[in-house]
Amino acid sequence: MNIPANSNTASHLAHAGADSEWESRYQNGDTPWDKGLPHPALVRWLSHSDITGRVLVPGCGSGHDVRAIAQKKTTKVVGMDIAPSAIRAASTFPAVGHESYILGDFLTGDALGLGPFDWLFEHTCFCAIRPDRRADYTREAAKALKPGGFLLAVFFMNPENSDPNSPPFGSSSSELDELFLPSFQKIDFQTAIPTYAGREQLEHLVLFQKR
């Protein structure tokens, strides 16, 4: 199901996403981050651990991670993306459970009216935003989650990007701690995770819980 944005939201999105031109990239088929399947670390997690309740996936793209989570019928999953073409693409897939997609800018509070959420799953949003906006991400993640809610994240630590001014942007463990630990406690940290071909040893999985 697609939940359309109103005209005010659409105008706001055009400004918020202008620096990365996400909509243009989807229209041009320039989406190397879309591997056509959910992240392997998420698939492994779901094979042995529960994600229940209401779940938010910011930067959901075509919704592969959303649908992987929604297959567990105890969840209601909302995928959010700033690019209208991403939402349209996600909405073309048959529903597998209680999933929906909404056009919105996670960094400016568009998720707040949809929450609170029990879980947030992060895969492609954090590494795509400029590093100077990461404090905005942390703030909105904390606001979107219930007290005691969980943030499960696959962080791109070293994308080996040749252009330091263009996403994906890398992270460090110390930066993540500085950003998240004031509002979250770290429950799990995994370095040897299954991932897409070519990303081996470049990503970490982290589980945070909101304080």
Q: What CATH code is carried by the domain that includes residue 131?
A: 3.40.50.150
DSSP conformation letters of 68-133: HHHTSTTEEEEEEES-HHHHHHHHTSPP-SEEEEEE--GGGTTTGGG--EEEEEESSSGGGS-GGG
Q: CA-CA distance, 73 to 55, in Å (whole number)?
A: 12
Which pLDDT value is given to residue 162?
Answer: 63
Which pLDDT value is given to residue 20?
Answer: 57
Give me the domain span that covers residue 141. 2-210
Q: Split the chain (211 residues) into runs of 10 and give each run's mean pLDDT.
A: 39 41 94 96 96 97 98 94 97 98 97 95 95 97 98 90 81 96 97 93 96 96
pTM for the full predicted model: 0.89
Domain count, the chain: 1
